[in-house]
């Protein structure tokens, strides 16, 4: 019984820290004078990430890519298209007209010893220019 309670507490703790979508921005002044594109004016380098807790392939808790920092319950927002949209919208909000060099990475980690719970993650970065 104690072991079951410990597992439940660990899963609850993980659930509380999961479900986070965020973007980080390195603006033109942070680029050390480097031109991050072949043509155009630098706006920023933008990095977006989203993580979520899944039961097999069913989304339980994920980050909302529509409103950073909030949780999306039962929605599958941990995917490349959702995070690309989040990054390109951020680029547009910063005054960019194009987002170049988009790169993405996905990951999935099994939560031992549950056998059915996974943490999925997506990372996308790109360069916004005018």
Q: Read off the pLDDT of residues 85-111 as tens digits, 9 standing for 90 and up.
A: 999 999 999 999 999 999 999 999 988
**Tally of domains within the chain:** 1
Residue 106 is part of which domain span?
2-129
DSSP 8-state class, residue 20:
-
Q: What is the pLDDT of residues 24-78, one digit of tens each?
A: 999 878 888 787 777 788 899 999 999 999 999 899 989 999 888 888 889 999 9
Residue 90 CA from chain centroid, whole number: 13
Residues with Cβ within 8 Å of residue 117, at least 6 apart in sequence: 11, 14, 53, 54, 55, 110, 111
Spatial separation of the C-alpha atoms in residues 15 and 79, rounded to whole Å: 19
Residue 12: its pLDDT value, please? 61
The per-residue pLDDT for 18 is 53
């Amino acid at each position: 019984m104690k072991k079951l309670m410990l597992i439940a507490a660990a899963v609850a703790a993980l659930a509380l820290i999961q479900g986070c979508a965020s973007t980080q921005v390195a603006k033109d002044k942070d680029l050390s004078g480097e031109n991050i594109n072949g043509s155009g004016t630098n706006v920023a380098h933008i990095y977006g990430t989203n993580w979520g807790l899944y039961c097999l392939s069913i989304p339980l808790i994920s980050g909302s890519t529509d409103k950073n920092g909030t949780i999306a319950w039962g929605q599958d927002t941990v995917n490349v298209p959702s995070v690309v949209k989040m990054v390109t919208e951020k680029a547009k909000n910063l005054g960019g007209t194009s987002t170049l060099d988009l790169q993405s990475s996905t990951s999935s980690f099994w939560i031992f010893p549950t056998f059915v719970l996974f943490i999925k993650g997506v990372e996308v970065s790109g360069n916004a220019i005018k």
